[in-house]
Amino acid sequence: MTAETVLARISITKPWLGDEEAKALAEVVASGSIGQGPKVKEFEAGFSASQEVRHAVATSSCTAALHLALVVAGIGPGDDVVVPSLSFVATANAVTYVGARPVFCDVDPASGNATAETIHAALTLDTRAVIVVDQGGVPVDLDPIRELCDRHEITVIEDAACAVGSLYKGRPVGSGADLTVWSFHSDKVVTTGEGGMLTTHRADWAARARTLREHSKGLPPTDRQDSVQSPPRLHLEVGFNYLMTDMQAAVGIVQLRRLAQMVARRREIAASYVAGLAGLKGLRFVADPPYGTTNFQSFWVEVQPGFAAGREGLLSRLADSGISATRGVMAAHRQPAYRWRDTGNARLQHTERLTDSTLILPVFHELDTVSINRVINTIQTAGPGVAHE
Summarize as ranges the residues that interact with ligand PLP (CB under 6 A): 61-63, 87-88, 90-91, 133, 159, 161-162, 183, 185, 196
* Residue among 163 and 375 whose Cβ is closer to ligand PLP: 163
Task: Assign 59 to helix, strand or coil.
Answer: strand
φ/ψ of residue 172, rounded to 5: -55, 140
Q: How far is the CB of 185 from ligand PLP (least distance, A)?
A: 4
Longest Cα–Cα distance in the chain: 75
Nearest approach in angstroms of CB 7 to ligand PLP is 29
Question: How far is residue 30's CA from residue 254's CA, in Å, rounded to a whole number?
Answer: 18
Q: How far is the CB of 165 from ligand PLP (least distance, A)?
A: 14
Nearer to ligand PLP, 90 or 149 (CB): 90
| Cβ 188 to ligand PLP shortest distance, Å | 6
Closer to ligand PLP by CB, 61 or 211: give it: 61
Phi-psi region of 196 (alpha: psi -120 to 50; beta: other; left: phi over 0): beta
SS3 198: strand
In sequence order, what are the residues at sequence separation of 6 or more whose Cβ sits closer than 8 angstroms to the Cβ of residue 56?
A: 44, 45, 47, 48, 197, 198, 199, 206
Of 130 and 161, CB closest to ligand PLP: 161
Least Å from the CB of residue 283 to ligand PLP = 23
Whether the CB-CB separation of 198 and 94 falls below 8 Å is answered with: no
Nearer to ligand PLP, 188 or 374 (CB): 188
188 noted as active-site residue:
yes
End-to-end C-alpha distance for the chain, whole angstroms: 25
Task: Name the catalytic one among 14, 188, 217, 281.
Answer: 188
Cα 150 to Cα 83, 103, 129, 160, 224, distances in angstroms: 17, 19, 11, 20, 39
Enter the DSSP assignment of 285.
Answer: E
What are the catalytic residues?
188
